[in-house]
Amino acid sequence: MYDVIVIGGGTGGYVASSLLASNDISVALVEKDIIGGTCIRTGCAPTIFENTLFSNIYRYREWGNYVGVDIGISIGDYKHKMKEIIDFLSNVGENVLKSRGVDVYYGEGKLISADTVEVGGKLLRANKIIISTGSEPIKQFPKRNVLDENTWINANFSGERVGIVGGGPAGVEFAQIISRQNSDVYLITHGELLSKYPLTVREKVKSILDWDGVRIFENRDVLKMEENVIVTTQETINVDKIILATGRVPVFPKGVENLVSLDVRGIIIDDNMRTSKGNIYAIGDVAKKPTPLLAHVAFEEAIIASLNILGKPTKIDYSSIPQVIYLDPKIGIVGNESEAEKFVEYPFSASSKAAITGYREGYVKLGIKGDRVVYGEIVGDQSDELISVISLFVKYRLPISKLLFTIFPHFTYSEIIINAMKRIYNIDSDLPY
């Protein structure tokens, strides 16, 4: 009899298992594939790897001119490197779990009752169960040239015509990295591109993709899709490959429907990550929530569920979840734009640091309510890191009139954030713009 069985060894399940085990809780983790889940296998890790690679190559090509070095790329080599990184992260994860005393069972976990899970014909029992079985692409289209968010990673797109169906974050990230492999990319979306995002973000993303030569087709219904052709309400597009990035649905372990409340968007949870059956918890993409499906949300939910299991009652707070769209330049967003009474913007081109590094494209935009920052948007180099600074302001509702006397080091990009605040009082100072 274990204290806890965790079903699913992706981001959420990994964090919960290792955290509980290091607090002397006996844990059995059941995983049907490899440790790491979507984030490591096909999601965050490979997209961030490709984003970093192609952003750097573009930059190094420019800098290579100064020293007479011509920078090329071998698709075979970089795919090999990416596989090495994925294997490394997955293996490290497995070793950490084992070293902390987690018993890992490989196979599909099925819920037999509120305290029993079956895996490979073996019955495991525990006082508590955490379900962390993730999500999967909404549409499957089993044809050779039609890929999805799980299968894109193994394909070579170099020099091909690629149709991407779906204008969410995954679709736009795929569009840029694939267009940078000398491919013609057609991005087709049902409504507007990134329709759930603020207007300035949508416009910026369109101009970035436009610069990369991606052809964007908004407000189109796909009427027919064959291996080499996409027929929309307005055109026929001939392609060599298609990627479906049309959204994700929860993956429910067998038997769960008899035990807990759920709907098409996931398992219903309370603020403590508890399901309708008190000893069963759900975390990560499989848990229904008001935020996008993100690895750092799964992380946080794993911590909250674990603390509650450890007897430390703690509630989840979804109010300031940052999000990054991995384009070149990256885009970081946090908070609620509609709460803002006014906005203030500061461009990267007015930053001395950006003048030195050459990354002069982008801006910081803050949404202000009274004396507080309630929304932040950063486009530019390192915005994936910088957005966390604004997350602190948004989460703790810190007063701008005090914050703007925080001294940030010179030459840094973070000065752009403090200068945006100083601009409200007309005391900002860096380069003219």
| Sign of torsion over alpha carbons 30, 36, 39, 41 | negative
Minimum distance of ligand FAD from residue 263's CB (angstroms): 17
Binding residues for ligand FAD, rule: CB under 6 A, are 7-13, 30-33, 37-39, 43-44, 47-48, 108-109, 132-134, 149, 170, 251, 253, 284-286, 293-296, 298, 326
Pick the closer one to ligand FAD by CB: 109 or 332.
109
Helices 11-21 and 75-99, interaxial angle, to 10°?
30
Retrieve residue 424's tokens: 């409200």
- Closer Cβ to ligand FAD, 10 or 335, answer by number: 10
CB of 197 to ligand FAD, least distance (A): 15
Q: What's the distance, Cα to Cα, between the start and end of the chain in Å? A: 66
Minimal distance, residue 13 CB to ligand FAD, in Å? 5
Q: What is the CA radius of gyration of the chain?
A: 23
9/347 with CB nearer ligand FAD: 9
CB 45 within 8 Å of CB 85: yes
The DSSP bridge partners found for residue 148 are: 244
Nearer to ligand FAD, 39 or 208 (CB): 39
Please state, in angstroms and rounded to a whole number, the distance separating the CA atoms of residues 416 and 174: 29
The alpha carbon dihedral of 177, 178, 179, 182 has a sign of positive
Q: Which is nearer to ligand FAD, 48 or 231 (CB)?
A: 48
How far apart are CB 169 and ligand FAD at their closest, in Å? 7
Contact (Cβ atoms closer than 8 angstroms) between residue 242 and residue 225: yes
Cis peptide before 329 (omega within 30 of 0): yes
Residue recorded with tokens 């929860």: 250
Query: Which DSSP letter does residue 287 get?
Result: B
Of the pair 48, 114, the CB lying nearest ligand FAD is at 48
Residue 166 or 362 with smaller CB distance to ligand FAD: 166
Q: How far apart are CA 410 and CA 166, in angstroms?
A: 41
| Rounded least distance, CB 127 to ligand FAD, Å | 19
DSSP assigned state of 362: -
- Classify 84 as helix, strand or coil: helix
Pairing of strands 27-31, 2-7: parallel
C-beta of 13 vs 362, nearer to ligand FAD = 13
Q: Which amino acid, residue 297?
A: V
Taking the complex as a whole, the smallest distance from the CB of residue 106 to ligand FAD amounts, in Å, to 8
Look up residue 397 and give its amino acid.
R
Query: What is the SS3 assignment for 220?
Result: coil
Query: Contact 11/298 with Cβ under 8 angstroms?
Result: yes
Query: Smaller CB distance to ligand FAD: residue 284 or 376?
Result: 284
Length of the chain: 433
Closest separation in Å from C-beta 152 to ligand FAD:
8
Min dist. Cβ of residue 297 to ligand FAD (A)? 7
User: What single letter denotes the amino acid at residue 252?
Assistant: F
For ligand FAD, the nearest residue by Cβ is 10
Beta carbon of residue 373, minimum distance to ligand FAD (angstroms, whole number)? 22
Give the residue with the Cβ less far from ligand FAD, 106 or 343: 106
Distance in Å, CB of 248 to ligand FAD, minimum: 7
Query: Residue 90: which of 133, 148, 31 has the closest Cα?
Result: 31
